[in-house]
Structure 1
């Protein structure tokens, strides 16, 4: 997929160019936006790599104005992807929702408000006003939110009483089985050996008719995208090469992209 230059994030830096809040999950009343809110991202992947991967993935639907992701605790496993139009965002949400990126199905919803990048392109004359409103909203949300007030009071009480916080049990991630992914002309390849190159993958997948393109991600050498001219050809290649030992030892994982 197309490459993108993604700047690394400071772990303690707050978001400066994303919407102040986003819905936890999609509902029938959800208001569409040019910006998508992504959750359940693999937290083990470096922020710069994740931003580049998201840009490569979403760029197939239209121009990506910005991808925002941070490694601080509050924003870990989340990202915002902004487009020029709601139509593009709607199509991307429909087709990518549930896509198993780095072995974790993405949760995708519309962001509640426009990002800085969207306003700068579509409403440049009110960008300063928008940014001021967003910063004020973030301040209120962070310090005046009832949940935040309650959490601060609880921490203060625990500190006074000397009581240790009750450990929480993290719910195991539920991965989407391959057999439930609908056919698509784009295949997602995982668990590739680090020394594999584009020519080798092209030779491997060209054994099956109608190969269109092989796309590697330079900073993440164990994954790739392989596109065929149609779903039928992609299905044949997937069935033939899933669990194939490309180097005689390592089994590659071949799945469909979510559509």
Structure 2
């Protein structure tokens, strides 16, 4: 009988379309999962052992649990997600908790569990299909980013998650859009938002209609767009909500 995996901040994702470009996959995973809480890191490799798999690292166990329950079987790029807790904590979490000491030898001496990137098997430092070292994208890279105060922000606009309904989020460069028509495309929204200086991009979440993220170069530009476009009627039945994303 299989032993149940205890809850933790890291989720193990299977069933991904391995034809999606690595950076695009990471961004899309981030935008999808960050609706349920603050994401520390996204690990999605293109190595032979990790194709179709990824790890999502949240700040809080409750957020990971909520995401797993809500997105289990979700059609992501037309493939149902298979989500479980990772078998151990990621290095990003261990660094946050002060239990990561760097290096395989030191980690073993400290009694720390294996990292999330290695949670599903004994694979060593992952490598690309061409034999190049891809460790910067794996567990080693995750720990480097965490030590430098970085996380998933190196693959997407910094720290963006769906706003909390309890209180407004502080001003930042990323806006979170709600109540959009299900047929919305970036081309439909771009004319509304690129009239303000500093507009960078609009990103929808694959398989999740009604929401989007908009990024600007500065907080000031995002604030102007928010103040003008919050409540704008995209259609007669859709008054668009525009809030700051959670940071």
| TM-score bracket for the superposition, by shorter chain length | 0.3 to 0.5
With the length of structure 2 as denominator, give the TM-score of the two structures. 0.47
With the length of structure 1 as denominator, give the TM-score of the two structures. 0.45
